[in-house]
Amino acid sequence: MGRAEGKVVVVTGGARGQGRAAAEHLAREGAHVWIADVLDTDTTWSGPGSLTHHRLDVTSESAWRSLRDALQAEHGRLDGLVNNAGVAARDRLPDVGLTQWRRVLDINVTGPLLGMQTLFPLMRPGGSIVNIVSVAGMSGHAAAPYTTSKWALRGLTRSASLEYGELGIRVNAVFPGLIDTPLMADASPAFRNVAIGETPLGRIGVPEDVAPLIVYLISDESSYVNGAEITVDGGLTAHVSHKSIADATRPAPKRH
């Protein structure tokens, strides 16, 4: 207990799923967690730390400024930012529309960019930023918009680790594999079955598999960890598997 004692941490997309698990784990370790999400959520909390909800559209500059002002007024600083908010998009390349393409990039890439830019002035040396990427950012996946956004976020994380590292602020990336969150809700049974078969540990992960790593990266225990890329995927990316998943669960691309 107390690994994040007194730290002020923002978790985007923290109303449910993986973000909610991270927020609760951080609060249990004594952090004052601001859940920044377009969705409402219950912030009743009886343990150490605290949970506060702030409505945030991660694609909006003005919404990020509003969050920054609220943090400044309440705490005068920020110790950690977890860029967790994201959306899935599973269309194969010939079927990708520009509206969907732009939405995925806006939420999954521009959102973290705006968060880091806007909240950085509140952060002091020793601060920590954690960007939630995906194993889709480590290899080629058939889901073109999602995969592209995660590779972009991976690159953004590396750049940020250089820029902010000079100022004593760490920036790291977490690469979850197949985690049972609302983003997986519309995945077909075929996708799940093939994916489990390709995962050496033989199961889909749960949000609680990822949350302890986020606590570690926010805590002072990781004070010399910067620019790291850490997978939590049951061994999925230890071998090549994603084409077989795609081929088993989707029709082949068609020429238009």
Q: Is 146 a catalytic residue?
A: yes
Of the residues 146, 164, 216, 224, only one is catalytic, namely 146
190: left (phi over 0), alpha (psi -120 to 50) or beta: alpha
The beta-strand segments (E) located in the chain are 8-12, 32-37, 50-55, 78-83, 123-132, 170-176, 229-232
- Token digits of residue 192: 């799940």
Alpha-carbon separation of residue 28 from 45, 52, 73, 137 (angstroms): 10, 14, 24, 30
- Sequence-distant (≥ 6) Cβ neighbours of residue 16 within 8 angstroms: 39, 41, 181, 182
Residues with a catalytic annotation lie at 146
